[in-house]
């Protein structure tokens, strides 16, 4: 039985990726797409060549109180941080209980919500209808660090660089191509929300140093892992391959992945495993498209889980090996 999915906040970059993914999904239909800026315009006119979009579907701008009456089986909240609670409260007040996937940070620290990084938290999914989608950087950092958790000795440092799409569409220095030209812009160098998110989820301190670069999409993190014992490189690679065996959206490779290779792809690449001379410090590189596995693709994984479908339905996983 087909399920209907509504998107709140569809004008942004992630909202656009969600529209493409849901339109192509064999079991999902778009129930509504909300955008105050585009209200009344046909959605299909903004997605030339994308099949599966009802030609009569138009952007709308329902109030929070009107959302429950739209009857969607699932609602994805693609809103800035701090905006999700009012939408959730409207569903609670109306006694309507769709699957809600929140892409902001608003519920990532709420134990009442399932934290949906399936490769690491799938076993904790037990039919929860409130799902918090992890942050883009937080996804890459956790996948890069998790296989070594039991031999870490001290805080992990992660140096991150993202394309400016990660700063969203609201104008700022971090998404101004002119200010980013020939530049690398540091920001939020302590206490970044993804730093707190990863530290909480892994139960181990992670220190995160984010930067924005002039490219549009794709992020890379270089993780420095202090170890409690000396390890062999072959042992390290085996840990990662074992951890992510059977995970089509995690590609463990020998060389350090390049961010230029990940744009438009749905998986995370891990590699570049390098040990210090004493074998007590490991460096790992992870790359990811921040709009896809870092947001929209992961949301689709979580929707598939919520409706009992194969987790990778509607996700072109074969592209990983392309």
Helix (H, G, I), strand (E, B), or coil: what is residue 232? coil
Exposed e or buried b for every residue in 201-228, given b needs 16+ CB within 10 A?
A: bbebebbbbbbbbebebbbbbbbebbbe
Q: Contact, 99 vs 131, CB < 8 A?
A: yes
Known catalytic membership, residue 87: no
Q: Contact, 198 vs 205, CB < 8 A?
A: no
Structural tokens at position 56: 């009569």
- Residues 6 or more apart whose CB falls under 8 angstroms from that of 15 comprise 7, 9, 33, 35, 78
Q: How far apart are CA 236 and CA 310, in angstroms?
A: 30
**Closest listed residue to residue 107, CA positions, set 125, 128, 133:** 133
Structure-token match 């955008």, residue found: 35
Helix (H, G, I), strand (E, B), or coil: what is residue 234? helix
Angle, CA 122 vertex, CA 23 and CA 250 arms, to 5°: 70
Q: How far apart are CA 111 and CA 39, in angstroms?
A: 35
Q: Contact, 47 vs 40, CB < 8 A?
A: no
Q: Contact, 194 vs 158, CB < 8 A?
A: no
Active-site hit among 38, 100, 105, 136? 136
- Residue 235 is inside which H or E element, if any? helix 233-243
Cα 158 vs. chain centroid, distance in angstroms? 17
Strands 114-115 and 130-132: parallel
Q: Supply φ then ψ for residue 61, to 5 degrees.
A: -140, 65
**Residues marked as catalytic:** 136
């Amino acid at each position: 039985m087909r399920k209907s999915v509504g998107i709140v906040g569809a004008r942004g970059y992630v909202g656009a990726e969600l529209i493409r993914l849901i339109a192509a999904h064999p079991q999902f239909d778009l129930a509504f797409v909300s955008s105050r800026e585009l209200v009344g315009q046909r959605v299909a006119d903004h997605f030339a060549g994308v099949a599966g979009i009802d030609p009569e579907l138009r952007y709308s701008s329902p109030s929070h109180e009107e959302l429950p009456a739209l009857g969607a089986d699932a609602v994805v909240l693609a809103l800035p941080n701090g905006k999700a609670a009012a939408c959730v409260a409207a569903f609670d007040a109306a006694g309507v209980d769709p699957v809600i996937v929140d892409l902001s940070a608003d519920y990532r620290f709420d134990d009442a919500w399932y934290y949906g990084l399936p490769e690491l938290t799938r076993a904790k999914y037990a039919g929860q209808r409130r799902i918090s989608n992890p942050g883009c950087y937080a996804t890459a950092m956790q996948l890069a660090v998790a296989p070594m958790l039991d031999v870490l000795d001290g805080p992990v440092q992660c140096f991150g660089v993202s394309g400016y799409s990660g700063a969203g569409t609201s104008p700022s220095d971090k998404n101004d191509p002119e200010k980013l030209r020939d530049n690398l812009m540091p920001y939020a160098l302590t206490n970044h929300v993804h730093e707190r998110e990863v530290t909480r989820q892994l139960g181990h301190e992670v220190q995160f140093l984010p930067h924005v670069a002039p490219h549009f999409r794709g992020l890379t993190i270089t993780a420095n892992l202090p170890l409690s014992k000396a390890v062999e490189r072959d042992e390290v690679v085996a840990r990662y391959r074992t951890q992510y065996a059977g995970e089509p959206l995690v590609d463990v490779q020998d060389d350090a992945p390049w961010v230029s290779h990940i744009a438009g792809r749905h998986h995370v690449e891990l590699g570049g495993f390098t040990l210090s001379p004493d074998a007590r410090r490991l460096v790992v590189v992870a790359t990811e498209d921040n709009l896809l596995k870092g947001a929209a693709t992961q949301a689709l994984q979580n929707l598939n889980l919520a409706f009992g479908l194969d987790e990778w339905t509607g996700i072109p996983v074969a592209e990983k090996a392309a």
